[in-house]
A and B are shown apart, each in its own frame.
Chain A
């Protein structure tokens, strides 16, 4: 009995610092955001309790509704393209060819670049007058496009995200592909399976768990992305690329409504929680 108490005491002693750290770093800010979302609060002023007013405000705000819509669209399209292209590149780079290791290394570079650098590169790439995109277009087709203008801006930010994100998918898929026994493909080939059948019945089942986890992680990251879009468009033109993190930033630092910004953050929590639950569920399986 004494031993059990001592063991328990030891356990608590060792785990307490970790719990304290977790509480301070993760749990406390989270609880504080929930707390402040029920207050009218601006910088330098004492918070005043306002109940659900902040939540009502953001629910009524058409910009918030649009932000939810554009964040979902941006995430869905970007992740889909990253999945398809990442898989295509992984299959391509899994083949034997001369200079494969160099090509693989080069292909990973976008993933290693800091977001700010990526944003700076594409800021100039998309510039109407000086950008490389228009220089190439003009020399081939004789036209220039407003890449960050109202018609194309959503496409452009998705393009940047896909460009940066493909290597993450590709590297993970490459790793997963190497775990599929070669003999399965050989046996299928002997049985007369077509390339599509081999892909559908051997490759996809062989990498499906990696695929699921990679997609979900990428969905979480893409949904919460701020830096690149803020640097490229600041949420504009107008509100066209006002994704949720930019909406929250503007509530805090342009409208000076910390309470509303907190409420908008809290509203996004269930979305992230459900995504995390799916990942955990997939991992358990």
Chain B
């Protein structure tokens, strides 16, 4: 007889009836436990409609969908009547916040979210993710049809997820804008999130790049900060610093394949006439131009002259921040989070720092604006609550101002009136004046189109322009080849996105 299996003793091993019964009972018990756990986590909702006249200064439409009922309350006055659905189960809002380089801003955001949740009687689950982690998390959520209810961050995904009418994943939030003081907002920022006449996101704040100039180096070379106006002035200054400190790399510019690497490109390119695209079409891509070649040649020259540390070729957003914080660069151009770090950790350096608008080129002055958007998704389970939270975060300008101030210049407000107030402040007014001066020159990566553009989101997400540096400085390709190769790749992305 062929043995099916052998036990330790060598006897044919059979499963007896009792074992069979035990296993069956075990399986039934497992299923029962699973079902009990599921029911415990998702109890049948006993809907109890409670109408409360709250003093929360907001108007909103709160729609809470439960297994059995849909309760909608529409309010139109500022003393709102919010109908909430309560019972055994509260609605649970899932929010995903980018962790910024200014922790106080995240603390404010978390605190305000929890206050909102307590006021509305909802549960909230707050997750945070770094700049690097947040995009995969958002995209995975969208792909699986289970996005977070509210997101803060992932600025270069908004057009990608909202532009195509056939695949629009971000929920329009025109109703949120209506509740807020839209006329008081920087219109450039509103335009950046407007697609086909609808608004898809709102900036929590603006991260506008500024020169972090270490004054002691300027003094050392016998100059004054006022003398540094143009790119030529700054480069000459850097060369003088290099002459005095041969081991130093005075330009704290990131050249790696990362977000800050792209900032280096755009900030040195726009002032010399660099343009990306004029419309959403591959024919409108202007990248492959003499301006691009001249800019790249200039940056290669800075590197070869020893003005930029070879370490800056690493893909790391912290490198320029650290170069400033360790005074191993004479200046950097960055959104003022390094300044925030200096104020909180190295006040002496903060005192030795002058924040000022980026240098001027033949075509004028430009600065980079990083998006800090807040948005919700069409597939989000609690999108109306998410919109309500957006209003709560943004509507109270006094509270909003506290958030801006907590960031110690790391970011600026999107409200003109708040900027005005801050500029008048005796203690920090001079710092916010720099922000106010930077506002008109804030530029986005689709310049001169300066509108949301999903093809440019792809170019930016891939940090494609930073390839120019690795091609010329690592692979030793000539400037012409590098510009042509990257230009072709950008055109290809536009073709894939918008067709021929």
Contact = CB atoms under 8 A, between A and B. Distances in A.
A268 B27 CA distance: 39
A45 B167 contact: yes
A235 B256 CA distance: 10
Nearest to A41: B143
Interface stretch (A91-99, A168-176, A251-259, A270-278): A251-259
Contacts of A198: none
Contact of A149 (B257, B310, B467): B310
A46 B326 CA distance: 49
A3 B469 CA distance: 74
A234 B136 contact: no
Given A7-B4, A10-B15, A150-B310, A234 B139 contact: no
Given A43-B142, A44-B161, A149 B470 contact: no
Nearest to B169: A44
Contact of A237 (B15, B256, B461): B256
Contacts of A46: 167
Interface in B443-476: 458, 461-463, 467, 469-471, 473-475
Nearest to A238: B470
A129 B318 CA distance: 13
User: Which of A11, A17, A44, A149 is the most central at the interface, judged by chain B CB atoms within 10 Å of its CB?
Assistant: A44
Contacts of A148: 311, 314
A234 B309 contact: no
B235 interface: no
Contact of B310 (A43, A44, A45, A146): A146
Given A44-B169, A237-B470, A128 B309 contact: yes
Interface string B292-316: 0000000000000000011101111
Interface string A9-24: 0110010010000000
A236 B142 contact: no
Given A7-B14, A234-B315, A235-B257, A254 B467 contact: no
A255 B458 contact: yes
Interface string A238-268: 1110000000001011111010000000000
Contacts of B417: none
A54 interface: no
A234 B316 contact: yes
Contacts of B143: 43-44, 258
Contacts of B38: none
Contacts of B328: 129
B474 A240 contact: yes
B322 A130 contact: yes
Contacts, number: 97
B258 interface: yes
Contacts of B462: 250, 254-255
B15 A238 contact: no
Given A14-B15, A256-B458, A129 B471 contact: no
A150 B458 CA distance: 26
Contacts of B316: 234
B470 A233 contact: no
Q: What is the interface residue range for chain B against chain A? A: 35 or more
Interface string A216-236: 000000000000000001111
B397 interface: no
Interface string B456-500: 001001110001011101110000000000000000000000000
Contact of A236 (B135, B169, B315): B315
Interface string A115-127: 0000000000001
A52 to B, nearest CB: 18
A253 B139 contact: yes
Nearest to B145: A44
Contact of B142 (A44, A233, A237): A44
Interface string B121-162: 000000000000001100100110000000000000000110
B241 to A, nearest CB: 16
A10 B16 CA distance: 10
Contact of A150 (B136, B164, B313): B313
B111 interface: no
A238 B458 CA distance: 18
Given A254-B463, A256-B160, A236 B256 contact: yes
Interface in B1-59: 4, 14-15, 20, 23, 27
Contacts of A10: 15, 20
A253 B141 CA distance: 13
A44 B311 contact: no
Given A44-B169, A238-B313, A254-B463, 14 more contacts: A43-B139, A128-B311, A148-B311, A234-B258, A236-B258, A237-B256, A237-B315, A237-B470, A238-B257, A238-B470, A238-B475, A239-B470, A253-B461, A255-B461
9 contacts: A7-B14, A130-B326, A148-B311, A150-B310, A233-B315, A235-B315, A236-B256, A237-B257, A240-B474
Q: Which 7 pairs from chain A and chain B are nearest by CB?
A: A238-B470, A237-B313, A236-B315, A234-B315, A128-B311, A43-B139, A238-B474
